[in-house]
């Protein structure tokens, strides 16, 4: 068994190195990985390179592919920003034996070309702009939801599905106290049949992680039981 495992290891090491495959066009290969990139602005690119699934890390390989693509996009000189290499456990191993585990190695970051017409700080502003916009939109959605539901959920006047939908909206926007009010209203209307298992799972999660409430694994388990998880 050990000799067989070593053969498999050798095959994967030889076959899973990151190759110069354009994943934008051809997709990532499970065996040899590839690279993808996105133009953020003239002279600013987001680049990612991945290895195939492998029993060993491929840090040098994915870094080499990343740098080659950066040089190609920038037609020469560039600077790296937020560059990092991560080895990601794929969650399975060889023949269910803890002999060989499998990983994907990913290099990611931004290439700032020498042709970029701006300073380092301006390049950072360009890179961070989409994240700032997304956060702003998220905040606007939160405020809109709170405005629409200023009075929260009223289990006496709202039907079961309305309570669940509004509660899910609050939960999605991390407004856990408001979500809990809606979810408890769901339970009051549904406790004889217990059909809203997703709601009870969410309540369990709120208690397990202490999201807006006192953390309590005991209470979490009670709601997980109602959700049919235990």
Q: Give the tens place of pLDDT for each residue, 139-198.
A: 777 777 666 666 568 778 889 998 998 899 889 888 898 899 999 999 999 999 999 999
Is the pLDDT confidence value at 13 over 70?
no
Q: What is the pLDDT of residues 201-219, one digit of tens each?
A: 999 999 999 998 999 999 9
In order of their start, the domains of the chain are 2-117 (no CATH), 149-226 (1.25.40)
Determine the number of helices (DSSP H) and then strands (DSSP E) in the chain: 8, 4
Distance of CA 65 to the CA centre of its chain: 23
pLDDT averaged over the chain? 85
Helix pair angle (217-226, 197-209), 10° resolution: 170
Encode pLDDT of 84-95 as tens digits: 999 998 876 655
């Amino acid at each position: 068994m050990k000799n067989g495992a070593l053969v498999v290891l050798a095959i994967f090491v030889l076959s899973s190195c990151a190759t110069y495959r354009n994943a934008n066009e051809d997709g990532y290969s499970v065996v040899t990985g590839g690279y993808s990139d996105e133009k953020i602005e003239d002279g600013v690119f987001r680049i990612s390179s991945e290895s195939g699934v492998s029993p060993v890390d491929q840090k040098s390989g994915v870094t080499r592919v990343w740098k080659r693509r950066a040089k190609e996009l920038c037609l020469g000189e560039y600077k790296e920003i937020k560059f990092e290499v991560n080895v990601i456990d794929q969650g399975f191993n060889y023949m269910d034996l803890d002999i060989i585990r499998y990983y994907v190695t990913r290099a990611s970051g931004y290439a700032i070309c020498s042709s970029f017409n701006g300073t380092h700080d301006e390049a950072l502003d360009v890179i961070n702009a989409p994240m700032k916009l997304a956060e702003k939109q998220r905040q606007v959605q939160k405020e809109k939801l709170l405005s629409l539901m200023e009075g929260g959920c009223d289990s006496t006047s709202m039907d079961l599905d309305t309570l669940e939908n509004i509660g899910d909206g609050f939960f999605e926007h991390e407004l856990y106290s408001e979500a809990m009010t809606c979810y408890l209203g769901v339970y009051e209307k549904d406790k004889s049949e217990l059909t809203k298992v997703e709601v009870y799972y969410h309540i369990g999660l709120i208690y397990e992680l202490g999201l807006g409430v006192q953390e309590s694994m005991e209470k979490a388990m009670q709601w997980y039981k109602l959700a049919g998880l235990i």
